[in-house]
Structure formats: C-alpha cells, structure tokens
Structure 1
Amino acid sequence: MVSMSLHLLWTSADSLIVAFALASIVPRRHVLPLILMFGVCDALGSALGVSVPVAGGLAVVALISCGALLVLRLPVAHRLTQAAGWVYVLPPLLAMDNVVSHAPDHIGLVALSSAAMAGLGFSCGATALGWWNASPESGRSFAGACLLVAGSVLAFGG
C-alpha cells in the first residue's frame, strides 16, 4: 500500500509542478480543462502499461525546451505564451512517466491523484502570483523556471 501511494505521488508530482508554472501564463478559462486532462492522461498512461522509453524522453525534452525558451526570454517565448493551445500538449507528454513506470495502481486513483495535484499546482501558483504582483515578463520567466524543474524531475527522478 505504501509503495502504491509513493508511486502515485511521484507520478503526479510533475502535474503539480507544471500546473504551478502554468498558473502564471494560462488564462483562467483553460485551468479546469487542463486539470481534467492531467488526470485523464495519467490514468490512460497507467492503463497502457507498456515500456516506451523514448516517449519519456520526449516529455523531458519538451518541458526543458519550453522552460529554456521562457527563461531566456526569446521572442518565440512571447508568441508561445500568447497561443494557449500548446499547453494542451503537456498533459499527454507528462503521462509518459505513467506509461514507462507502470505500477499496479487503480486507474481511478491515478486520475484523482494527478488531477488533485494539478489543481493544487494551479491554486498555489495563482496565490503566489497574487502575492508577488509579477509582470507578464516575470511570469513567463517564472513559468520557464518551473518547467525546467519539472523536466529535471522527470529526467533524473524517473
């Protein structure tokens, strides 16, 4: 039971970190759909339970690349944050850790855990930004740093 709980927390941690990052750049109307996508995608990833090591690497590369673009404040980063559609690619990519590290978790618990962690991430991120009163540029840099952390967690922790 303890190993299942630790596995659920570990495979949901990326949803928490990425949602925390996205809180600074995603319009509020996208928050609930993204929370649901984090849960559903992680549940589907766990249900697949096949070994796809290249897919896990894709998630790491995508997170670190997006994070680096935002931290370095490259012009493409501004365009990236203006088009909210790119964030919908993140939940399926982050579900790859569930595919690669398949454990006998109940699919409903996986969905609930990831959705709850994403919801917590969005809430904490929005609260932190409210206290900080960050400019849009600072928000993008903050989001980039969080995406770099999420990519690193996925790369070195999984």
Structure 2
Amino acid sequence: MASRKLKSASPVATKQAESPREMQREDRRIVAEKIADVYDDHAYIAPWTDDLVARDLGVPCAWVAEVRDFMFGPANENPVLAENARQFSAWSADYEKFRADLTAHTEQGKQLRNTSLDLQRRADDIRAQQNRIVREGKL
C-alpha cells in the first residue's frame, strides 16, 4: 500500500471585523434633515420607518434611531404600518387555521376514499357470490 503524506493545513489569517464608523456632525445633520422630511408631530409618515430611512441614506439604522429619539422623540409606530401589521397577523392566523383544516379534510378525504373502495370491493365480492348462487341454482 502506498502511503500518502498529508499536507498540514496552513493557518488561515482571520480578519478583524471593522468597527462601524462613528456618526459625525455632518452625518447627524443629514439624518436629522431626512427624518424631518418624513416625520410629523408624533410618528413617521407612511411608509417611513427608522429602517427605511437608514436604507434610503445608506447609514446604520442605529444612527437613525439615535437621532430620531434625541430630536423627534420615541419611535411611535406608523399608524398605517401598524394597521397593516394587525391585518397581516389576523390573516396569518386565519391562513394557518385554513391550512390545518385543509390538511385534516384532505386526510379525511383519503380515509373516505379508502372506505369507499373497500365497500365497492366488498359489494363486488357479494355480487359475484350472488351470480354463482344463481348459476348453480339453474343447473
């Protein structure tokens, strides 16, 4: 048997994760101006959220949350998004119930089909036996 020499794995250099850059004064100004454009007295205007503002500006969501919290107040839910989330939650519960019912009815349908096939087989056997009895009786 030929023996193979295994190469030792070379150590892989691991990169240190770069820490996110810190928010500068200019960053704060830009974030604050954007929030001012999309935030009314108590909440974001639909469809805006901290996350959407952050994606729009290309900055971390934490920056937006920090500036919004300091300058505009708590992140009150956008009422349109809150209603949409409520409707989705209700729909999701109804859909899950529908899926469970459908699964149960599908299983029940399979059982009923199997019962029907069994009854048909038994009826065929009885009919064949009746035909034999009739034939034998005419001899």
Q: TM-score, normalised by structure 2?
A: 0.22
> More relative contact order in 1 or in 2 (CA 8 Å, sep 6+)?
1
Q: TM-score, normalised by structure 1?
A: 0.20
Tell which structure's C-alpha radius of gyration is larger: 2
Q: When you count helix as a share of all residues, which structure comes out higher?
A: 1
